[in-house]
Amino acid sequence: MSVHPKAQGIATYVQYEWRMVKAIAEKSPYTGEWVIKYALIDSFLMHARAIKDFLYGEDKAKFPDDVVAVHFFVDSSVWLRSRPPMGDYLRDNDKRLNKMIAHISYERPQWRGKSKGWQIGTIRAQLEPAWNAFHEMLPADRRAWFHAPRGPVSK
């Protein structure tokens, strides 16, 4: 096995997803005008879902061009053996996150009321160890691929 041939070119896009997770979580989206509040929550959840699937989704890659963390390792078992396990909150809310974000599902109404809120700080905190481990496990040359300027990815 080898590093995916397009891994270097996609790294800044993956880094953007992580930066958005961190930045939105720090803005405390549960305050402010309702439309801004829900836009921030939805944005956070979309980026968090993308990072979750990147870090833990190698078995769930739906399309051949889906990018997952194992694509950045010559030996994918290095990552699979050593990454931190998915946190309890993320694991317990995986189906909910997939059903609530990016498409409309008939299962949405089951998560109304008190269980509707999202623990944004918890989601970020449970993604961070795997994100940090991913970076630490990469060789320095591949780690450098993820050091893009702040802000949206653009050329």
Task: Give 35-96 as a DSSP string.
Answer: HHHHHHHHHHHHHHHHHHHHHH-TTT--STT---GGGG-SSHHHHHHHSPPPPHHHHHTHHH
Q: Model-level pTM?
A: 0.82
Give the domain range for residue 18. 7-146
Is 42 contained in some domain?
Answer: yes
Domain count, the chain: 1
pLDDT of residue 85: 96
Is 128 contained in some domain?
Answer: yes
Q: What percent of the chain has pLDDT over 70?
A: 88
Is 2 contained in some domain?
Answer: no
Average pLDDT, the chain: 85
| pLDDT tens-digit series, residues 7-29 | 888 888 898 888 888 888 877 65
Is 14 contained in some domain?
Answer: yes
